[in-house]
Structure formats: structure tokens, C-alpha cells
Amino acid sequence: MNSVVSGFEQIQVAARVIQRGGLVAFPTETVYGLGANALDSVAVLALFKAKNRPLDNPPILHVSDVNQVYQFVGEVPRNAGVLMRQFWPGPLTLVFKRSEALPKESTAGLDTVAVRMPNHSVALALIKQSGVPIAAPSANLSGNPSPTLAQHVYDDLAGKIDVILDGGSTSIGVESTVLDLSVNPPVLLRPGGVSFEAIRAVLPDVVLHPFVISEQEVTVKQARSPGMMHKHYAPNAEVILVEGNLSEMINKIIDLSEQYICEGKKVGVLATDETRNKYFGCTVKSMGSRSNLNLIAGNLFKELRAFNITSVDVILAESVPLDGIGLAVMNRLRKASGYNIIKA
């Protein structure tokens, strides 16, 4: 690693690193990305290696200009225009038929490509200065919670990448929504920063892929997005997600924590401001107030990572309502638990 930097001159340095085939971590409005020149297959392969990412899981192509979409996408369907106008730059990734202009490494051999324009001045300046689309998965080691601070990137990838651009804490805190426009009707593959409700308001025929709200692991045959199959967002300790109405959920977590403590285990609870005082003998972390799901989304990955510097053996996680960005929070929590879900 050469440096941890931010600011205009540093962005120019980072852009040259991208042009020369290097790896640059940069902030977006969702989470930090780890970028490489999407047109350079050697650089893209280095990206997979640094993250220890399975080769079948393609990165998202990040653009700073809508013209790049027409350059690198095979077919832009009519319904894409309204979505790009309404939600770009922003946390919506669109899946299109790919064009031959992209090396196959950038799309993991699929015949589609995922594209988004991030809503962050550092990310947009970096893409623009680089002069190429930037392939960027989240800048974490594969399987870990996504990074919402430059420090998280450093913790996972120090020594494996060239530059980290530090833009402070990311504002949304969960990744972009992934929407497949290569099929009809369009399918939401990953809930994220743009809610299903907001997409449905402009695209009434959009459907949720059943595994977005799944309470079970996806099989290879059923997966439409490679990322659906892989282990995700997991801290070091085992996570158990408790679902149910608020008071029953609290009681269930108290019961479970008492059982684990009797067994001599150290228990963490991922709670909320309203409930954090309910759990005794546990290491409690709050995601924020239940009255603001956006705040909860913003804190989720940071708090999951924070358990790694405690010595807890098991983390009991509260659930939140599935409305708006809550759908993305619950999808991440279910994956973080490896679908180890207990109904209160």
C-alpha cells in the first residue's frame, strides 16, 4: 500500500494508478469500492485476487457519464432511461446485456453487465480522471461486512492494494439496489439504497426475486445473481437473527442470552436505541433508533465489524421492519447469520 489519501491532487494520482493497472479503494455514497480499470483484464483479475473473491461473481461497472453506458452495454432497453434520469447518480445498479467491448473478466463470463453511476464527488472525479469505466466490488475481503469507513478497507486490504481515497463515513451504509433490466419483467436481485417502493413508482411491473426476501440459502440453480450464493457480511462470531414482533423478539433474545451465558459463552447483542438497555450480561451495540431505518442501515456494517474487537462467541441480532431500506437491512442480516434465523 502506498498511501491513504483524499483531495483533488490525490484523486489525480489515484486515477493514474487505475490507468496503469493498479487497485484504488474509493468512497461512494453506499460503501467503499475497490476499483480497477474495467477494460484491463489483468487489473480486474488482480482485483478478484486482492479480495479473495470467487471468479464467478462479477463486479459492478462504475461510470461517471451516461454515454459510457451506451459504449459498454449491448442493449439499453427503453425502461432504462427513466430509471437513470430518476436515480442516477445514486444507489441503483442496472443489469443490461453486455457488449463485446468489455473483457470477459469484467463480467465473470456472463452475457450481462451490471452498471451504476455513484453519487459521490470523489468517486465521480476518479472515474472521470481515469477516463475508463471502473470495475468495483465492495472494498472488503470476500465474506466480510462491506466497508463504510476507510479504516475498514485498511483493516481488510492493507498491503494488497495501491491506494485508499479517504472520504470519511459513507452516507447510506448498505450497497446499491441491483435491478435486472435484461429480462421482462425487470427483477430486483439485491435490495439496497433505492427502495423497491421507489422503483415500483416508476416501473410498476418490477418484481422482487424470491430470494431477496428468502429465509433460506439459495441453491446454485436458483441464483440469478452470482452474489446470491456466496457467504456474506459475516463478523467473526456466529450470528443468530431473531425475528418477530418487538416485545416477543426482546424476550426471545433475553432467553437465548441467558442460555448461552449459562453455557459459559460470551454474548453480543446487535440492538437498537430503544432496546439496548434490556440485555444484561451481554456486549450490546446499537444500530440506531428504530424511528430511523436510514440511520440503522448506515450503522449496520460498522457495528457488525465492531464485534470483531470484542471477544463475544455469539451475536444475537434484532430484526427491523421490511419497509423501505429495511428490506436491504434484513437481507444483509439474514446473510450475515448464514440464515440462522429464530422466530420469536
Does position 30 interact with ligand TXA (CB under 6 A)? The reply is yes
Which one among 37, 93, 275, 337 touches ligand TXA, defined by CB under 6 A?
93
Helix (H) / strand (E) containing 306: helix 293-306
Which one among 73, 95, 102, 336 touches ligand TXA, defined by CB under 6 A?
95
Residues near 13 by Cβ (< 8 Å), separated by ≥ 6?
A: 5, 163
Which one among 138, 176, 177, 299 touches Mg ion, defined by CB under 5 A?
138
Nearer to ligand TXA, 138 or 337 (CB): 138
Does position 170 interact with Mg ion (CB under 5 A)? The reply is no
Assign residue 233 a region: left if phi > 0, alpha if psi is -120 to 50, beta otherwise?
left
Q: Which stretch binds ligand TXA (CB under 6 A): 88-96, 124-132, 238-246, 292-300?
A: 88-96
Of Mg ion, ligand TXA, none, which one sits near residue 60, judging by CB under 5 to 8 A according to partner kind? ligand TXA
Does position 331 interact with ligand TXA (CB under 6 A)? The reply is no
CB of 136 to ligand TXA, least distance (A): 5
Distance CA 26, CA 157 (A): 13
DSSP codes of every residue in 226-260? GGGTS--S--SSEEEEEES-HHHHHHHHHHHHHHH
Geometric angle at alpha carbon 323, from 317 and 324, rounded to 5°: 105
Cell numbers given for 93: 445498479
Residues near 183 by Cβ (< 8 Å), separated by ≥ 6?
A: none
Which one among 18, 23, 24, 59 touches ligand TXA, defined by CB under 6 A?
59
Does position 286 interact with ligand TXA (CB under 6 A)? The reply is no
Q: Which stretch binds ligand TXA (CB under 6 A): 89-97, 196-204, 210-218, 332-340?
A: 89-97
Of ligand TXA, Mg ion, none, which one sits near residue 226, judging by CB under 5 to 8 A according to partner kind? ligand TXA
Nearer to ligand TXA, 56 or 274 (CB): 56
Contacting ligand TXA within 145-204 (CB under 6 A): 175-176, 178, 189-190
Of ligand TXA, Mg ion, none, which one sits near residue 326, judging by CB under 5 to 8 A according to partner kind? none
Nearer to ligand TXA, 271 or 328 (CB): 328
Helix, strand, coil proportions of the chain in percent (round to 5)?
A: 35, 20, 45
Of ligand TXA, Mg ion, none, which one sits near residue 145, judging by CB under 5 to 8 A according to partner kind? none
Q: Which stretch binds Mg ion (CB under 5 A): 130-138, 200-208, 254-262, 265-273?
A: 130-138
Q: Which amino acid is at 228?
A: M
Residues near 263 by Cβ (< 8 Å), separated by ≥ 6?
A: none
Which one among 138, 195, 286, 331 touches ligand TXA, defined by CB under 6 A?
138
Phi, psi of 127 (to 5 degrees): -65, -45
Distance CA 220, CA 235 (A): 24
Distance CA 45, CA 100 (A): 18
Of Mg ion, ligand TXA, none, which one sits near residue 57, judging by CB under 5 to 8 A according to partner kind? ligand TXA
C-beta separation of 30 from 180 below 8 A: no
- In terms of Cα–Cα distance, which of 254, 287, 294, 259 is closest to 273? 287
CB of 185 to ligand TXA, least distance (A): 16
Give the three-class secondary structure for 97.
strand
Q: How many Å separate Cα 91 from the centre of its chain?
A: 10
Instruction: Summarize as ranges the residues that interact with ligand TXA (CB under 6 A).
Output: 28, 30-31, 33, 57-60, 91, 93, 95, 107, 110, 112-114, 118, 136-138, 175-176, 178, 189-190, 225-227
